[in-house]
Structure 1
Amino acid sequence: MWNFLPLLSLLGSVPFVSAIPNGIVIARATTASSASVSAPPVRSYQSSEPHTPFSGTPSTTGALTASSIGTGISSGGVAPDATTYPSDGKLHNAEPAPYVPAGGVGTNGSTPVYNAKSDFDYESLALALYQEWIELDLFRDGLKRFSAEDFKAAGLNAADRDLIEFMAEQEVGHATLISNILGAQAPQQCAYNYPYTNVHEFLDFCQKLTRFGEAGVYGFLAHLDSREAATLLTQSITTEARQQMIFRQFQGLFPMPVWFEVGIPQSWAWTLLAPYISSCPSNQTRLVWQNFPALRILNQPSIATAGGTSNSTGLNNTISSGTNVVKSPNGSSGSNSSSDCGATVTSDIGALSFPGRQVALQWETAGKGVGPNNSYITSTQAKTGKYVAWVSQLNVTYTPLRVVNSTGNSTGRGYTSQPDLETYQGDPAINGTMFIAITDDNPVLTPFNLSLINPHVVAGPAVYQAG
């Protein structure tokens, strides 16, 4: 591993964030005159956990609920003061200080307090912590499970393995940061179970898990009541965005084929994450978010179809619903790799899918136990599925769902076609690692109010590898 020079020895006055027992975190400052200055400790974690499915009986089922639950959140109109600022490039209020314009949140000189300030804050940050814990375990599991020769066969060398290990170390810091904000009841590390069987599948799983981890935070970041916590989380999630790009490069994919990164609601992120958590400690903090029925893409695009020359990669080519990781046979480059598309800084392989491509889908019905100890139950408030929602970049687009059949009470099958649209001219909206879901309606939504889609979700989301 790399040996980094102690940053504290190079700086004078260094701010850092520390926690006190009730979970309130405030900013402090130290003067670092030498490398001997002690940094705050990291949160403890297990270096080795079993990776097997949960086989017991859950003692508690369902998401965390309050004593009173409303009937729903309706779509409102535009707030009266939302369009009053003239936006003409001039100053319209007195400056509170030289070179300082009026306005902003947290700009009045008060001391920042980095804590949760609402149930929304706590539950959102707790979800993010669940994500950090699984990433820490995931990166190290792949390094333990597969040999250096296995990675070499997949086009990755020792330095690439070191980079994955360093990403695991980053997750130690992320988990510590969020734990300090949440306090004593912060979620603990759990035991996990992963679907991959070889290095190619491991890389694909990492690429997709970091994608919905990143997108899940983008979805709630601007809505946090704690702007202080949002600032720290921004500094964490930008690192995760780089991790996702690295895993794309490890697969030979173009690192950033979109102009804008998409955000998704918390319940979407939790639906995608929960199936890979086997069990958690008995006193674990539970989450309020919904688990939707799983959605499987039966012909997930893969790097083997780069250039859009095929309408299908074949049915049943994935090893999991939700993340929809593409199968890759042991001992070969597999269906998600090709001889000229190995690990690379960048590539020009073209799109993995194309407008009009028929996408075959299979989805579960509600009522399945998932997540820690199988204690969360999938549910939906929606009626019959009519559409497939495509959530990518700045767009929410709907295509008709064609139901083929319903195989008993547990699953349904159908298909749709990939839409043809641009975010702006020259930027195909359906590209990169993005998300789809089956819905019963096609409400008009934008990135800031996307969570209003949740009552309409029949199944999903699923990660769609458009490019």
Structure 2
Amino acid sequence: MRLQNAGLLALSNVLLVQAVPRLYTPTTTFSEAETVTPAVVPQTNVTSHGPFTGPPATTTGALSTTVTASSIPALPPAPNSFNYTADGKLHAPQPAPFTPSGGIGTNGSAPVYRVQSDFDYQSLALALYQEWIELDLFHWGLQNFTVEEWEANGINAEERFLIEYMADQEIGHATVISNMLGPQAPKQCTYNYPVSNVREFIDFNQKLTRWGEAGVYGFLPHLNSGPAAQLLLQSITVEARQQLIFRQFGGQFPMPEWHTVGIPQSWAWSLLAPYISSCPSNQTRLVWQNFPALHIINQPNPARINGSDAWNETTGGWANTLSTQNISRSELCLHARNKTLDCAPAISQNRSIPLSYPGRQVFLKWDSPGQLVGPNNSYVTSTTVREPRFAAWVSQLNVTYSPLLNVSTRDNTAYTFQPNASTWDNDPAINGTMFLALTDTNLTVTPYNLTMLNPHVAALAVYQAG
């Protein structure tokens, strides 16, 4: 098997700016007098759920203007990228005591917490779509399933209150982003969830929160507005903890990876849009691409005692959320008496049978482009790839390719083998809730320029490696 492993060993930039939200006037308080609390963004309980059934949309496709090129050209590193001598010494005068030279937004200018470019606006609008669906999804699950159903899955009243509290957190996240976007910020929509019981609900949540945080990590360092990035960072770190909580509710090890993956905006939008049914008629549209769905036929199923022994046990492509429909009680890990096999909610579960492993044969099927998805069925899946040749495993700091075998463009099917790759010694690169894309080339990309792979993506999915 031919493998190509493109890892990134680089330090992230830290934005040295004051985190003072734009939505109120900063003050210094010298007394215990009550202060004015800023209002949150208006929100309501969404009462309608299910697939879109309205008339055909009058506007379809992603938001677009004049397109100047078919893709972003690959260029060498920026000038002077290697000029700084990293020897631990100071190489320039200090602008103030105890302050090194350099940094972005460190010259004393007052921070402005608003978007500064089309890139900023479209990225934060995508993040707001994500916050709105999480707010509704958490409430929907609590309202849709009975106390008996929750208790049967090992989730008691205190843990259900945690889900309610996480929904409240989304109100704050939506407020911050809405204020940075302004009056045209996306509003709440209606949604369609691919779940029918508590166990499927938990799994869909841990996948949705993963692509939510991964999507923001992908664009955060590219924002023109450092202040906006600061506030968004302080929201998305909470979402990362939500993802961990839902993994714990599903009886999975909370954080099997050493680094959290980042993905491009078009990947996050492709995974999110199919679960949005309809939005207000004047809703802000997005520029991002919608890739066709990748169906992982033998997607590992965390509800099973042997999670890798699964076949057609998902509720559909993109998220590939687990299904418990055809699994007997004796095969469900929730009821396993052997503590090395069970998956009851817990702070940590170290299951003896891995969900996936190097060398595992993975069977794939993907949709053709041209499918209507997203709000009001007004977005269209697209790709320029005629025949995929590789599976791109995107996790942690790595993109690792494995060749597709037995490719059929008539049936849109193929299979591949999970690579044996590590990010670091004793850190398997392919682990946790990660992403799998089919591509027509094994392009070398790293976390900071993963979007360069977009023109080569044929289909996309969440893969449950651990």
What does residue 317 of structure 1 align with? 313
With over 3 angstroms needed to count, the CA separation of the structure-2 counterparts of 1:435 and 1:27, relative to structure 1, is farther
Give, in angstroms, the shift of residue 366 of structure 1: 0.6
Q: 1:349 aligns with which of 348, 351, 354?
A: 351
The residue aligned with 1:373 is 376
CA drift at 1:384: 1.1
- Letter in structure 2 aligned against 1:61: T
Q: Percent identity?
A: 57
Shift of 1:269: 0.2
- TM-score using structure 1 length: 0.91
1:29-61, Cα deviation, whole Å (9 max, x unpaired): 242734632211001112132102112211110
Rounded to whole Å, the distance in 1 between the matches of 2:33 and 2:243 is 32
Cα gap change, 1:15/1:128 in structure 2, threshold over 3 Å: closer, same or farther? closer
Q: Residue 21 of structure 2 corresponds to which residue in structure 1?
A: 17
Q: Per the alignment, do residues 104 and 324 of structure 1 end up closer, same or farther by CA in structure 2, a change over 3 Å counting?
A: same
The alpha carbon displacement at 1:403 in A equals 3.6
- Cα separation, 2, equivalents of 1:126 and 1:181: 10
- Give the CA deviation at 1:338: 4.6
Using the TM superposition, give the Cα deviation of residue 406 of structure 1 relative to its aligned residue in structure 2, in angstroms. 4.5
1:23 matched to which residue of 2?
A: none
Residue identity in the other structure for 1:195: P
Provide the secondary structure at the position in 2 that maps to 1:367: coil
1:273 to 1:420, Cα distance in 2 relative to 1, 3 A: same
Aligned pairs, how many?
441
Partner SS for 1:443: coil
Q: For residues 360 and 194 of structure 2, what CA distance do their matches in structure 1 show?
A: 27
Give the AA of the match of 1:162: F
SS in 1 for 2:393: strand
SS at match of 1:236: helix
Secondary structure in structure 1 of the residue aligned to 2:423: coil
Q: Are 1:437 and 1:458, in contact at CA under 8 Å, matched by a contact in 2? A: yes
Counterpart CA distance in 2 for 1:336 and 1:276 is 28
**Does 2:303 align with 1:327?**
no
Structure 1 residue ranges (4+ consecutive) displaced by more than 3 angstroms after TM superposition: 32-35, 329-338, 403-407
Match of residue 121 from structure 1: 120
Over aligned residues, Cα RMSD in angstroms? Answer: 1.9
Aligned to 2:415: 415
TM-score between the two structures when normalised by the length of structure 2? 0.91
Deviation of residue 329 (structure 1)?
3.4
Instruction: Tell me the residue number matched to 2:457.
Output: 457
Paired residue for 1:134? 133
Establish whether residue 384 from structure 1 lines up as the match of residue 413 from structure 2: no
Q: Deviations over 1:119-149 (max 9, x none)?
A: 1000000000000000000000000000111
The alignment status of 1:146 with 2:150, answered yes or no, reads no
Alignment partner of 1:398: what SS?
strand
Q: Secondary structure at the match of 1:212?
A: helix
Does residue 431 of the first structure (1) align with residue 431 of the second (2)?
yes
Q: Which has the higher contact order (CA 8 A, sep 6+)?
A: 2
**Alpha-carbon deviation of 1:219?**
0.3
Check 1:374–1:211 CA distance in 2 against 1; reply closer, same or farther (3 A cut).
same
SS of aligned partner of 2:408: strand
User: Which structure 2 segments of 5+ residues have no match?
Assistant: 1-17, 337-341
Q: Is 1:326–1:335's contact at 8 Å kept on the other side of the alignment?
A: no
Counterpart-to-counterpart distance in 1, 2:52 and 2:406: 33
| Equivalence for 2:13 | none
Aligned position for 2:35: 37
In the alignment, the residues of structure 1 paired with residue 69 and residue 25 of structure 2 have an alpha-carbon distance, to the nearest angstrom, of: 37
CA separation of 1:336/1:44 partners in 2, compared to 1, >3 Å: closer, same or farther?
farther
Q: Please tell me the residue identity of whatever aligns with 1:456.
A: H
Give the C-alpha shift of residue 27 in structure 1.
Answer: 6.1
